[in-house]
Chain A
Amino acid sequence: MALRAVLLRQLRVPVQTLALASRKSQPWSFSSCIRLMSSHDDHLSKEQVIGRVLDVVKSFPKVDPSRVTPDVHFQKDLGLDSLDNVEIIMAIEEEFKLEIPDKEAVKIDSCNLAIEYVYNHPMAA
């Protein structure tokens, strides 16, 4: 009886350490089968963000896909209009399920800024 109590006390594992361990580690390759404790911690990796943003820009009908690089400027390098800029940003919002405020969306002018914004956004999916 006392031995059982001692053993059980040894095995008492608080839930908090598991949550901290899973939040601090990098997203593992099998992270889908691990239940993370908070709904805010699946961060996208930079390569994923870059790949998806470039796919969105390449699939825009007015853009030549071979000229798209991660640091291309929409209006200067790709020859787009400011309204095309708005359309690209809306497509990026739909891709990553984001809501970008109007004032900041107008300032996103190049792929660089878009990738940085999406990468630093906590709710990018």
Chain B
Amino acid sequence: MSVSTAAYFARRAAQKERVQILYRRALRDTLNWAVHRHLFYQDASNLREKFDANNHVEDLDAIDRMIAEGEARYNKWRHPDPYIVPWAPGGSKFTRNPTPPAGIEILYDYGREDND
């Protein structure tokens, strides 16, 4: 009996993580679509209400089905040009100017010659 409850809790924890990641991506997508902050706040509260309405479901299979539906809806609404932080992979500054390795120096001598 304890084995099944441990497995049950493990599944619930995994589902909780999936829901959190889905909510995170959906929130970021909402910010991508609704750039102005007042619109974003309204859309974010709508999204939160949708998630909260299904908060109390206990059946594992129903939760799995709802997560799959949510992910399908997220995939359908993904923004084509999301905002990514510049230095992150996919951003505009990614691998643009890596730090110069230590020990490399530039000696500015402006063309001065040694026999001058």
The proximity string for A residues 75-87 relative to B, scoring 1 for CB distances below 8 Å and 0 otherwise, is: 0000000110111
Q: Is the CB of A15 within 8 A of B20?
A: no
How many B residues, CB 8 Å from partner? 31
Of B3-11, B24-32, B63-71, the one with at least 4 CB within 8 A of chain A: B24-32
- Closest residue of chain A to B85 (Cβ to Cβ) is A99
Residues on A with beta carbons closer than 8 Å to the beta carbon of B109: 12
**Smallest beta-carbon distance B2→chain A, Å:** 24
What band does the interface of chain A fall in when counting residues whose beta carbon is under 8 Å from B?
A: 20 to 34
Chain B's closest residue to A96 (CB) is B85
Interchain Cβ contacts within 8 Å, total number: 58
List B residues at the A interface (Cβ < 8 Å): 16-17, 19-21, 23-25, 27-28, 48, 51-52, 84-85, 87-88, 91, 97, 99-100, 102-109, 112, 116
20 additional contacts, CB 8 Å, given A15-B108, A82-B20?
A5-B116, A12-B107, A12-B109, A14-B107, A15-B107, A20-B102, A39-B97, A39-B99, A82-B16, A82-B19, A83-B19, A86-B27, A89-B24, A90-B24, A99-B84, A99-B85, A99-B87, A99-B91, A102-B24, A123-B87
